Amino acid sequence: MRIIVALTLLSTLAAAAPASAESFTGVFKNDPAIALVMPAVGPNGPIQAGHLKGTATTQTRSGATATSTYECIFWSTPGAETPSAGICQVVENGKDRLSQQLVCGAPDPKDQVAPCWGAMVGTGGKYVGKVGNFSQMGTLVAGTLQGAWKD
């Protein structure tokens, strides 16, 4: 479950990114009805993998807002320093596209909030040829995010 929480958080970070080096902040929400988790046995311990979808709303420093949808796959990384990793495909405002690669730290046992961070690569619309970084904090259900594209 820790892996799922961490990956879920990162998934939504990719959902919003500005067209310039301007930074952005936002919130994300995963759709629990669509989340799928598959446990398995691995050579270094139990493994979890899954699929999830969600939405994010972001705002740039200059005030522009965006709504994004995302779809992610994630997996646990037994024996690694970061317990989970994932990849997300994001569509912003129905047209601009990006991919995210992320890793997540272990969630806090008290509230299940986990830190995640990663890289963004533009794949369509205003993001083609752009790269950036993001981070987020949240649970399997929802959280906050921030990031920026590089010029």
Domain count, the chain: 1
Contacts of 80 by beta carbon, 8 Å cutoff, 6+ apart: none
pTM: 0.80
Distance (Å, whole) CA 59 – CA 85? 26
pLDDT higher than 70, residue 109: yes
Please give the pLDDT value at position 10: 43
pLDDT exceeds 50 at position 19: no
Q: Beta strand pairing status for 23-30 and 142-149?
A: antiparallel
From CA 130, how far away is CA 53, in angstroms rounded?
23
Residue 131 and residue 62: Cα distance in Å, rounded? 20
Average pLDDT over residues 80-88: 89
User: pLDDT confidence of 115, banded at 50, 70, 90?
Assistant: very high
- Residue 12's SS3 state is helix
Please report, for the domain that includes residue 127, its CATH number. Answer: 2.40.350
DSSP 92: E
- Label residue 125 by pLDDT band (50, 70, 90): very high
pLDDT, position 5 = 39
The pLDDT of residue 36: 78
Question: For position 2, what pLDDT does the model report?
Answer: 46
Over the chain, what is the mean pLDDT? Answer: 84
Tell me the mean pLDDT in the region 113-130: 95
Residue-range definition of the domain harbouring residue 82 = 2-149
